C-alpha cells in the first residue's frame, strides 16, 4: 500500500509541530502501511545471538539493538569469531593485541548488557579458510541457546571475514529462527528493518569506547553518524537507529554464493547499478551487468518483503 501523496505532504508540513513520541508512533504506523518503508518495530525477542567476526563488530552493527533487548530482559549471547590479532595500527605483537581485544570486547558486552562473549579464536583475516570449523561452532551455539533471532553480517559486507561468517552460517540446517543481517563496513541499501536505539545509543557509545585497540585502525565514532542517519526512518533524524536485512535461512546458501560471485566481479558499483535498475525493462541494464553472476547477485536486493507474514507474526508475539 502506497500512502497518498497529499497525506505525505501534509505529514511533512505538520512534522515540526508533532511531539516526538507521537512522531515515532506515526512513523511506526507508516512502516506497516507503506510498501517502501522498512519496518521499525523490534519484536519481543527473549533470546538473541550475535555473531561478531572481530571484537567490535557486535557493537558497530547491532550494539544499540542488543542493549535495547537486554534492557527489556532478553538474554543476548555474543560469539566472537576472531581475536582481532591482525588489527591495523596496533603497536603490540599479535598475542598481546589479541589479549587486549578480547578484554575490550568483554567490557563492551557488559556495557551492552549481554552475556560474556564466547571466543572462537579463528585466525584474523583467514575465516574463509576455516568455514567447516566455524560452522560446527555456530551449530553448537545455536543449539545451546535456542535464540529467537541471530544477528550476523549481511551477505554483501566488504570485509571477507564478515562474509565468511554468514557463509559458515549457511551450512547449518534451516531453522525457525529469525536471521537479521547487520551493516558494519558496508551500509545496506534497502534495509527492511530499522530499529530505534535512541534510548540505548549511550550504551552503544560506551561499548564503542571500550574498543581502544580497534580505534587505532579507524574512528569508531563514525558508526554513530550512521546510526544518526538511520534515525530518519524512526525518529525523523532526531535520534539513532540501526538497520538490518532479514534473511530467509533456507535461501542463505544461494544468497551467500551470489554475494561471493558479486565480489569476484570486483565491482560494488555493478551491484548498486542492479539495485537502481531492478525495475527497468529488459535490455536497459548495462552489458557488464548482464553477466550471469551479476544477475544472480540481484537476489540480494529482493528481500524487502520476502516474509511479510513472518514479520506480522513476530509483531503479534
Q: Which of 26, 164, 50, 175 lies closest to 108, judged by CA?
A: 50
Query: pTM of this prediction?
Result: 0.79
Is residue 245 within 8 Å of 303, Cβ to Cβ?
Answer: yes
Which of 110-124, 244-258, 284-298 has the highest average model confidence (pLDDT)? 110-124
Residue 280 in this model has a pLDDT that exceeds 90? no
Q: Region 13-19: what's the mean pLDDT? A: 56
Please state which of the ranges 150-159, 181-190, 299-308 shows the lowest mean pLDDT: 299-308
Structure confidence at residue 191 as a pLDDT band (50, 70, 90): very high
Q: Which of 180, 201, 200 lies closest to 191, judged by CA?
A: 180
Residue 312 in this model has a pLDDT that exceeds 50? no
pLDDT of residue 258: 84
Structure confidence at residue 194 as a pLDDT band (50, 70, 90): very high
pLDDT of residue 274: 41
For the chain, the maximum distance between any two Cα atoms, rounded to a whole number of angstroms, is 61
Radius of gyration of the chain (CA): 20
Q: Which of 267, 241, 265 lies closest to 28, judged by CA?
A: 241
Sequence ranges of the domains in the chain: 47-249+307-315
Report CA torsion sign: 114, 138, 141, 176: positive
Which runs of E-coded beta strand occur in 39-85? Answer: 47-52, 75-80
Q: Which of 149, 185, 182, 155 lies closest to 168, judged by CA?
A: 155
- For domain 47-249+307-315, give the CATH number: 3.40.50.10320
pLDDT of residue 26: 52
CB neighbours (10 Å) of residue 192? 23
Q: Region 82-90: what's the mean pLDDT? A: 95
pLDDT of residue 87: 95
pLDDT of residue 11: 52
Give pLDDT tens digits for 221-274. 999 999 999 998 887 788 999 999 999 999 999 889 888 888 877 655 444 444
Contacts 24+ apart (CB under 8 A), 132-136: 132/168, 132/171, 134/81, 134/164, 134/165, 134/168, 135/168, 135/169, 135/171, 135/172
Amino acid at each position: 500500500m502506497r500512502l497518498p501523496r497529499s497525506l505525505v505532504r501534509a505529514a511533512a508540513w505538520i512534522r515540526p509541530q508533532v511531539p516526538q513520541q507521537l512522531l515515532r508512533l506515526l512513523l511506526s504506523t507508516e512502516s506497516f502501511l507503506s510498501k517502501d518503508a522498512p519496518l521499525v518495530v523490534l519484536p519481543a525477542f527473549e533470546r538473541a545471538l550475535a555473531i561478531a567476526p572481530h571484537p567490535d563488530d557486535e557493537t558497530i552493527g547491532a550494539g544499540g539493538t542488543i542493549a535495547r533487548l537486554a534492557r527489556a530482559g532478553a538474554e543476548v549471547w555474543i560469539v566472537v569469531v576472531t581475536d582481532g590479532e591482525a588489527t591495523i595500527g596496533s603497536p603490540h605483537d599479535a598475542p598481546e593485541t589479541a589479549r587486549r581485544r578480547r578484554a575490550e570486547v568483554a567490557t563492551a558486552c557488559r556495557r551492552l548488557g549481554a552475556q560474556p562473549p564466547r571466543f572462537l579464536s579463528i585466525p584474523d583475516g583467514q575465516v574463509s579458510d576455516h568455514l567447516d570449523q566455524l560452522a560446527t561452532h555456530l551449530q553448537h551455539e545455536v543449539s545451546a541457546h535456542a535464540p529467537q533471532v541471530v544477528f550476523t553480517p549481511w551477505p554483501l559486507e566488504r570485509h571477507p571475514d564478515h562474509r565468511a561468517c554468514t557463509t559458515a552460517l549457511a551450512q547449518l540446517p534451516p531453522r525457525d529462527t529469525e536471521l537479521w543481517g547487520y551493516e558494519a563496513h558496508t551500509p545496506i541499501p534497502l534495509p527492511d528493518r530499522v530499529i530505534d536505539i535512541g534510548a540505548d545509543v549511550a550504551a552503544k557509545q560506551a561499548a564503542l569506547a571500550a574498543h581502544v585497540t580497534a580505534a587505532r585502525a579507524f574512528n569508531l565514532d563514525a558508526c554513530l553518524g550512521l546510526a544518526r542517519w538511520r534515525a530518519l526512518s524512526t525518529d525523523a533524524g532526531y535520534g539513532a537507529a540501526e538497520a538490518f536485512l532479514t534473511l530467509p535461512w533456507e535461501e542463505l546458501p544461494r544468497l551467500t554464493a551470489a554475494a561471493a560471485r558479486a565480489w569476484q566481479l570486483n565491482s560494488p558499483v555493478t551491484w548498486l547499478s542492479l539495485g537502481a535498475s531492478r525495475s527497468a525493462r529488459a535490455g536497459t541494464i548495462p552489458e557488464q551487468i548482464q553477466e550471469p553472476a551479476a544477475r544472480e547477485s540481484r537476489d540480494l536486493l529482493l528481500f524487502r518483503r520476502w516474509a511479510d507474514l513472518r514479520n506480522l507474526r513476530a509483531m503479534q508475539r
